[in-house]
Structure 1
């Protein structure tokens, strides 16, 4: 009973806090270019800590390019091991300009799923806990047991599907929410057809839309930036989060973006050769 009451309190507390940030973001001016990161922070004046490729023999990595990039730059422990979830929440907030309630809620959920307060990044690669079939960036675990390795073919296909126009902020074009919805439709159809162990429950579907929405908000769908972060798991010098809201990405903005992407998804898509 005490655990249920605590969970309810945390839920209402974070949702209320998040709602307050929604209104602040609506009223406050956006963060100007060059002002995202403060002096002493990674990313200040466009400079990120040294990028070092992980040692596959000793370092732990996840299916998430953003987390891997943070480890590769030493924003979180470079070995990717024994990362306290409270510290991870703070690092996520500062690196990508994700809202504090969003980060805390996400890390709390990870702690409940894995039943611990500190994780190795590779914990997140355990199949059908958070990692799931029909990911935009990884082949299904049935075909690719090591979910920590980027699937460059899938990433290039996603970026090649971009329909957003070239612009100064998007020099190689932009992946739009509609593009993400169509890409998810294709991945689900492929997994259904090709993977004899395919599974995708409601929770994992939600994770898929959530991941796509965060990708869009913090990378802006920018093809050039996305290619570096998704394929190399490296933060390019000069990068600033495309989420410019003063208090970061709120849970409610993320819900809205996930729904926007879902609207463009056809889970009954049939491939042409079927």
Structure 2
């Protein structure tokens, strides 16, 4: 059974990567969405109008991911963050953030696998996604390490503030913009600090790449715009009149995303980062 499972997983991975590359090509050949029309009709957020924001209540389940928590805070996912299906997560994330369908299948499927549940019929609570060293990892830009703060469902205001202060870019109107070098520098500082403060700190290539990937959504989906990132990271709330900055017809593919993730990770310099 173990061998069959590995063969099945390998087949699925090859299929998803092929599918993803096909969508990448289609994005090059088709017209993009017009600004203001990225979120599809009948989905929450269409027309730049998001459901009411309600902060989490006692007993609600939240994850280490600000974007998923924001979806629950706005009722796009169940507000209590519980009993969510992996297939529902796929659909809602795709509609809300304009990730490609391939991307939106791969990550929930990966989550189902590390939780030992069926992608097709399984359910989960948001807090379960914070299983240490699965998707959640040390040296997060918005959370202290799980060994220091077991509840990963809430952002750390000081870490968020430190991150936003790294922005050196400027929008045409003068508002601050987070760039690839800014993000690399922030990750460098966090990894150095986490090593010093967490005796149980762990790091490997997979977790580093996943950390850079998680962080790179700030540059892709949010376009690096600090005015949009501040409410999302600090309050886990959608800014007013916001929509994904990815306009591609078939959404942000993994193939396209890697064009941001790899430069971010390659720019991390943990031996020379400023203290």
- TM-score bracket relative to the smaller structure: over 0.9
Unmatched tracts of structure 2, length 5 or more = none
Asked whether the equivalents of residues 81 and 125 of structure 2 are also in contact (C-alpha less than 8 Å), the reply is yes
Residue 192 (structure 2) aligns with: 189
| Matches of 1:51 and 1:15, distance apart in 2 | 35
Residue 236 (structure 1) aligns with: 239
The reply to whether residue 81 of structure 1 matches residue 82 of structure 2 is yes
Counterpart of 2:35 (choices 18, 22, 33) is 33
**Aligned residues: CA RMSD:** 1.4
| Matches of 1:264 and 1:257, distance apart in 2 | 11
Unmatched tracts of structure 1, length 5 or more = none
Kindly tell me the number of residue pairs found equivalent between the two proteins: 269
State the Cα distance separating 1:263 from its structure 2 match: 2.1
| Matches of 1:270 and 1:258, distance apart in 2 | 19
State the Cα distance separating 1:14 from its structure 2 match: 0.9
List aligned pairs for 1:11-26, cutoff 5 A.
11-26=13-28
CA offsets per residue over residues 185-231 of structure 1, 9 Å max, x none?
A: 00011111222111112221121011012222111110000001111
Asked whether the equivalents of residues 167 and 173 of structure 1 are also in contact (C-alpha less than 8 Å), the reply is no
CA offsets per residue over residues 46-90 of structure 1, 9 Å max, x none?
A: 11111111112x210001100000001111111101111111011
| Matches of 1:242 and 1:157, distance apart in 2 | 23
CA offsets per residue over residues 110-148 of structure 1, 9 Å max, x none?
A: 111111122110112232232111111111123322211
Aligned CA distance change for structure 1 residues 269 and 193 (closer, same or farther; 3 Å) = farther
Counterpart of 1:122 (choices 122, 127, 132) is 127
| 4+ aligned runs moved over 3 Å, structure 1 | 269-272
| Matches of 2:222 and 2:199, distance apart in 1 | 33
Counterpart of 1:253 (choices 249, 253, 256) is 256
List aligned pairs for 1:1-274, cutoff 5 A.
1-56=3-58, 58-116=59-117, 117-168=122-173, 172-269=175-272, 272=275
SS at match of 2:271: coil
Which moves more between the two structures, 66-75 or 159-168?
159-168
| Matches of 2:267 and 2:129, distance apart in 1 | 27
CA offsets per residue over residues 84-116 of structure 1, 9 Å max, x none?
A: 111101111110000000110111111111111
Asked whether the equivalents of residues 181 and 261 of structure 1 are also in contact (C-alpha less than 8 Å), the reply is yes
State the Cα distance separating 1:271 from its structure 2 match: 5.1
State the Cα distance separating 1:259 from its structure 2 match: 0.3
Asked whether the equivalents of residues 40 and 95 of structure 2 are also in contact (C-alpha less than 8 Å), the reply is no
Asked whether the equivalents of residues 208 and 265 of structure 2 are also in contact (C-alpha less than 8 Å), the reply is no
State the Cα distance separating 1:244 from its structure 2 match: 1.3
SS at match of 1:181: helix
Asked whether the equivalents of residues 189 and 269 of structure 1 are also in contact (C-alpha less than 8 Å), the reply is no
| Matches of 2:80 and 2:95, distance apart in 1 | 20
